[in-house]
Structure 1
């Protein structure tokens, strides 16, 4: 899973395997270790939310996706989900959860588990 954070915008990209785990298990999480602590990022399916939502607790960003929106995301062509999430302090946080497509240009990154890029000829 890749994350991109810029200002009040968070984007998560999931490979095929990660989407499959999310659809099967209802959660996918990764962790980055530091000397004495860690930072985690996760996606979870929830019956308690009505739209893509974010939580930050215990050094973990979790995107919560309503169960009824997930459907057959693993098998369909839907790229992802997005929401402009209003925070308790009145500010907004843009959330984007999407499938990770292979890059069109050469890259040293392993892309063997990425979705085929629809823009590739």
Structure 2
């Protein structure tokens, strides 16, 4: 799982096995260790949300996706989900959750579990 954060925008990208795990178990979680501290990021299916929502507490970013959307995500062609979450004082948090495609250019990172990039298919 990859995350990109810029200002009030968060994007999560999930590999094929992570999307499958999310669809089957309702949750996928990763962590990054900073010495004694651990930063965690998680995507979770929730029946109580209507759109993507996010929270941050205890060093964890949690993206919540409607259960109905996430249950079959592994088995369909939906690339991702996007939502502008309203914040206090008239501000928004842009949320994007999507399948991770292989890069158009060769990269050093392991992309073996990424989705085939539609731009590379003939």
Match status 1:63 vs 2:66: no
Please tell me the root mean square deviation across aligned C-alpha atoms, in Å: 1.0
Deviation at 1:71, TM superposition (A): 4.2
Spell out, residue by residue over 1:91-120, the C-alpha distance to the aligned partner (whole angstroms, 9 max, x if none). 100000000000111111100000000010
Spell out, residue by residue over 1:16-41, the C-alpha distance to the aligned partner (whole angstroms, 9 max, x if none). 00001000110000000112211100
Q: TM-score, normalised by structure 1?
A: 0.96
Greater fraction helix: 2
Deviating above 2 A after TM superposition, structure 1's stretches of 4 or more consecutive aligned residues are: none
Gaps of 5+ in 1: none
Q: 2:99, 2:9 → 1: CA distance?
A: 17
How many residue pairs get aligned? The number is 121
Gaps of 5+ in 2: none
Deviation at 1:89, TM superposition (A): 4.0
* Mapping 1:9-20, distance limit 5 Å: 9-20=9-20
Q: TM-score, normalised by structure 2?
A: 0.95
